[in-house]
Structure formats: C-alpha cells, structure tokens
Amino acid sequence: MLKKTFKIPDMTCTNCAMKIEALEDDLDGVKEINASYHKLEMVIEYDESKLSDEQIIAAIKKKGYTATPA
Amino acid sequence: MSKKQNKPSVDPVIIVMLGVIFLAIAIAMIVFPADTNSINIASDSGVISQLMVAFVTGITTGGLSCLAVQGGLLASSLAHQIEQDYAGQIGQKKSKQPAPRTNSAFPISLFLVAKLVAYTLLGALLGWVGSYLTFSPMTRALLMIAIGIFMIGNALRMFNVHPIFRYFSIEPPKFITRYIRRTAKGTETFTPLFLGALTVFIPCGVTQAMMATALGTGSALMGAALMFAFTLGTSPVFFVVAYLATELGAKLEKFFMRFVAVAVLILGFVTLDSGLNLMGSPLSLQNLTRNMFPSQSESNPIADSPQPAADGELILNVQNGGYFPATLKAPADKDLTLNLVTDKTYSCARDFVIPALNYYELLPDTGTVQVTIPAQKAGSTLFFTCSMGMYTGQIVFEN
C-alpha cells in the first residue's frame, strides 16, 4: 500500500471534499481517501499494483477537479 | 436509456433577477421591519417578524448555500447516475445523456420534508439547550457578533479572498460523510427520507448561523419555529435548483456561489451591526450615521416632540417602528427618570435594553415603564436598543 498526497486547488467547499472521497468506492485498489477543503488536498492510500497516479488524476478530473501530486 | 429530447435551458439572468428580488425582500424586511402596523397580527409581531426574516433568509441565501453543500447529496440520493452526469457535464457536451427523470419531484419532496422535520427537531433541541443558558444582552450581543463574523468570513471564503477564510467552513467528521455517501447509493423511497434527515450533519454556513440564532432564543418552541421557517424558506429554491441540477453544470454553480457570497456578506454585516447595537457600541452603523447625520432624526416630526422636562423626566415613545425621538437630550450630572411609553407596541422594540446600565425589560404592549438613569457626565452618550439590535436610539447628556 502506498500513501500519497495530491493537491486539488479547485475545491470550493466541503462538499467537494466529500465528492472526491467518494472515489474510495469507485476506484479499485483504493483503501482510504482523506480529502480536506481546508488544505485543498487529498491523501490517498492505495495499492500501487492496481492503480497508477495517472488513473487517480483522471478519476478526479472526471469528478470535475484538477489534481497534481504534492 | 433514451436520448434527451429537449434540454431545458435556464437563463442565468432570470435566475439572478429572481435572486435579487428575494434578496431585496430580505434586506427590506431586516432594514424596515417596523411596518408591522400594516399587517393585522394580534399576536407578538416581534416573533412573527423574526420568523419572517428567518424564512426570507432561507428563501434567498439559505437555499443557494444549502445547494452548494447538500445539492450533490440530493442528486446522488435520487439516482447515482445523476451525480455522474452532473460531474461529467464538462467536456462531454456532445455525448449521449440520459433522459430526464420523469418522477424526480417525488423523491426531492421526500428529501425536503425529511430535512424540514429534522431541522425543526434540531431547532427545538438547540432552543431547549439555550433555555438552560442565561443569555444577558451582552452575551447575545457577543453571540450575534460572532455569528456576523462567521458569516462575513464565509462570504470572504466564497470570494476566495485568502486561504485562511477556508477555515470558516466546518468540515464534517469523516465517518459521517462516509456513512452518508454510502447510504446515498440506494434508490428506494426510504433513501431520500433518510438522507434528508441526515443533512443536519452537513449544514451550510447560513444554516450554521441560523442554528446559533436558534440556540440564542432560549426556547424549544421558538428554536423549532425558527429552524422550521428557515428550512421551509430554503425548500422552494432548493427544490427548483435541485430539479434542474443536472442541467445547470459546474459553471452556473460558480455563478450561484458568487451571488450567495454577496448575500451572506450583506447579512453578515447586518448581524454584526445588530450585535454592536446590542452591545451599546458607538461604532455600530446606526449609531455612527446618527451622529454623522443628526439632521435625519431632527427632521422627523415625531422625533422632535418630547424633550426633557425641567423636573428631569424624559419621555420615550416605544412604537412598532422604533424609538421616538431617536435622540434624547438630557441634563448632565443629575439623576433622571426615563418614561418608556408603549401604545399597542408589538414589535421587538418592546424588548428594551440599555447596555451600559445592564438594563433589560420586556415592556407591556400598552403602558408606561419608568427607568431611573443615574447621573451621567456632560458630553457622554447612553445608547439604547431593542434586544435584537434592530431599533436604536441614544440619550445625549449636556450641561
């Protein structure tokens, strides 16, 4: 399991963090996501053999946000 | 799944115009709450006007603010597909989209009814808790100032003025958001009801401010009524916008947020000013402008009528529209008697407060109450206000 932080500068409220955390259920290989609107970032714990950074960034983009590795 | 035939288009200008009208009503009710004579209400108009303000706050800023926080939750409670469409609209303009749901009004209604019940119960609970806390006018003033700062901070957060303002938004605990999110995946009738009730755990900024106000009422009934009026006010806007949510997209959502930010900023300053009034601060807008433009009150024919009598008695008419005269002149270094005269006065002007003397009295709707004012130095000013900080006045002491 790998733990990584992504900056998501276009979150506008706490609901954005909730939407991003919903990837926990949508993405295979994710153990946990903690998104913070206060910090404009998310910490994701995932299985790197099942998921890549690009896939995570693409999934976040599909939710309407931009993610970059911190 | 069929193709969508007619995509409803909502002109942002129309929506903003409606919003401006609602906001104008809200501001008018806050700034000119006095005209209760035009409404034939036998009961306490102060309570009625407070509930009306809560309702109008809900229908203007509350609905849009709740939409920002809870809109996605409602959309996902209707059908998981909606949320996907909602988030995926950008960049998929020409892709096939699902047909509009023909019966989404029913689950939205269920959601809103559950939300209404839940917030009413929450209001009762907050009011009940508040009843065990003794709120002096000064405590209430500090509470109102805190609420005002909270609202202003939230507005500045929405304007993205500085990262520090993001901390004015309260992030719900992770276990709650996870539980709500996973419950939202269901599609049964029970789900919208349940999720509507769960929205009490993710209140928006305006709702949080209203919750603090409910706490300040110190009454379970009043707290419940206040939250009921506010949540009822949020419902129409919430319903319409939630219904169209899948059609509006993220661009218009940002547009809404700016409108909400302006409204919250204005209401925040109004609340802050009321708190300063209740504290007896000369720095409140009303007290500052009264001193800067004394001719305003002097030009009022009613305001000039009662002047201090030679025997040291002052007369202040407490009317539904406020205190007349708004400025009383009194001799310095002499004990005085202030006669508070009410005549069918039902507004919150009855809840009379002199902050500097720590004096608070609920006046009879008709009658006279005497207050002893201890000797004050020449050049000093004693501010008085209603318990909501809406109506104000002052006694100026001269040689």
For A32-43, what is each residue's pLDDT tens digit? 999 998 999 999
For residue A48, give how far its alpha carbon lies from the nearest alpha carbon of chain B (Å).
23
When pLDDT is cut at 50, 70 and 90, the band that residue B150 belongs to is confident
The arithmetic mean of pLDDT across residues B304-315, rounded, is: 65
Q: Which residues of B touch A33 (CB under 8 A)?
A: none
pLDDT value, residue B274: 85
Which of A13, A21, A24 lies closest to B69 in CB terms?
Answer: A13
Range name among A30-44, B257-271, B332-346, B359-373 with the lowest pLDDT average: B257-271
Tens digit of each residue's pLDDT (9 = 90 or more) over B184-193? 655 456 667 7
Q: Which residues of A touch B180 (CB under 8 A)?
A: 18
Measure the CA–CA gap between A17 and B186, rounded to whole angstroms.
Answer: 21
pLDDT value, residue B216: 76
Question: Whose structure tokens read 């295979």?
Answer: A28
pLDDT value, residue B72: 56
Q: Which residues of A touch B88 (CB under 8 A)?
A: 62, 64
Contact status, residue B396 vs residue B350, Cβ threshold 8 Å: no
Contact A14 B182 (CB under 8 A): no
Contact B90 A64 (CB under 8 A): yes
More confident of the two residues B29 and B244: B244
Q: What percent of chain B has pLDDT over 90?
A: 17
For residue B180, give how far its alpha carbon lies from the nearest alpha carbon of chain A (Å).
10
Token digits for B385?
A: 């206000």
Contact B177 A24 (CB under 8 A): no
The arithmetic mean of pLDDT across residues B121-149, rounded, is: 82
Tens digit of each residue's pLDDT (9 = 90 or more) over A8-65? 998 887 778 888 988 888 888 999 999 998 999 999 999 999 999 999 999 999 988 9
How many beta-carbon pairs below 8 A join chains A and B?
57
Contact B182 A25 (CB under 8 A): yes
Contact A21 B178 (CB under 8 A): yes
Contact A22 B257 (CB under 8 A): no
Average pLDDT value over all residues in chain B = 73
More confident of the two residues A49 and B181: A49
Q: SS3 string of chain B?
A: CCCCCCCCCCCHHHHHHHHHHHHHHHHHHHHCCCCHHHCCCCCCHHHHHHHHHHHHHHHHHHHHHHHHHHHHHHHHHHCHHHHHHHHCCCCCCCCCCCCCCCCCHHHHHHHHHHHHHHHHHHHHHHHHHHHCCCCCHHHHHHHHHHHHHHHHHHHHHHCCCCHHHHHHCCCCCHHHHHHHHHHCCCCCCHHHHHHHHHHHHCCCHHHHHHHHHHHHHCCHHHHHHHHHHHHHHHHHHHHHHHHHHHHHHHHHHHHHHHHHHHHHHHHHHHHHHHHHHHHCCCCCHHHHHHHHCCHHHHCCHHHHCCCCCCCCEEEEEEECCEEECCEEEEECCCCEEEEEEECCCCCHHHEEEEHHHCEEEECCCCEEEEEEECCCCCCCEEEEEECCCCCEEEEEEEC
Measure the CA–CA gap between B318 and B63, rounded to whole angstroms.
Answer: 35
* Closest by Cα among B390, B155, B389 to B263: B155
Interface test with B, best of A12, A18, A40 (most B CBs within 10 A): A18
Question: Could you count the other beta carbons within 10 Å of the beta carbon of residue B164?
Answer: 11
Measure the CA–CA gap between B363 and B348, rounded to whole angstroms.
Answer: 10
Q: Which residues of B touch A38 (CB under 8 A)?
A: 166-167, 169, 171
Contact B87 A36 (CB under 8 A): no
Tens digit of each residue's pLDDT (9 = 90 or more) over B255-283? 766 776 787 788 788 888 888 988 888 88
Interface test with A, best of B80, B177, B256, B258 (most A CBs within 10 A): B177
Does the pLDDT at position B85 exceed 50?
no
Contact B254 A12 (CB under 8 A): yes
Measure the CA–CA gap between B199 and B182, rounded to whole angstroms.
Answer: 14
DSSP state of A13: S
One-letter amino acid of B122: L
Measure the CA–CA gap between B50 and B225, rounded to whole angstroms.
Answer: 10
Does the pLDDT at position B370 exceed 90?
yes
pLDDT value, residue B41: 35
DSSP state of A39: T
ipTM > 0.90 for the complex: no
When pLDDT is cut at 50, 70 and 90, the band that residue A66 belongs to is very high
Does the pLDDT at position B91 exceed 50?
no
In terms of CATH, what superfamily is B285-398?
Answer: Cupredoxins -  blue copper proteins (2.60.40.420)
0.95 exceeded by pTM? no
Measure the CA–CA gap between B340 and B334, rounded to whole angstroms.
Answer: 19
- Residue of chain B nearest A24, judged by CA positions: B178
CATH number of this structure's domain A2-69, picked from the four choices 3.30.70.100, 3.30.70.60, 3.40.50.300, 2.40.50.140 = 3.30.70.100
Q: What percent of chain B has pLDDT over 70?
A: 65
Q: Which residues of A touch B172 (CB under 8 A)?
A: 14
When pLDDT is cut at 50, 70 and 90, the band that residue B97 belongs to is very low
Token digits for B256?
A: 């809404």
On the 0-12 / 13-18 / 19+ scale of CB atoms within 10 A, B327 is buried
Q: Which residues of B touch A40 (CB under 8 A)?
A: 163, 166
When pLDDT is cut at 50, 70 and 90, the band that residue B51 belongs to is confident
Which of B72, B167, B178 lies closest to A38 in CB terms?
Answer: B167
When pLDDT is cut at 50, 70 and 90, the band that residue B341 belongs to is very high
When pLDDT is cut at 50, 70 and 90, the band that residue B309 belongs to is low
Phi, psi of A34 (to 5 degrees): -120, 105
Q: Which residues of A touch B67 (CB under 8 A)?
A: none
pLDDT value, residue B315: 93
For residue A14, give how far its alpha carbon lies from the nearest alpha carbon of chain B (Å).
6
The arithmetic mean of pLDDT across residues B348-356, rounded, is: 86
Domain ranges for chain B: 12-279, 285-398
The arithmetic mean of pLDDT across residues B367-390, rounded, is: 90
> What's the sign of the alpha-carbon dihedral A35, A16, A52, A69?
negative
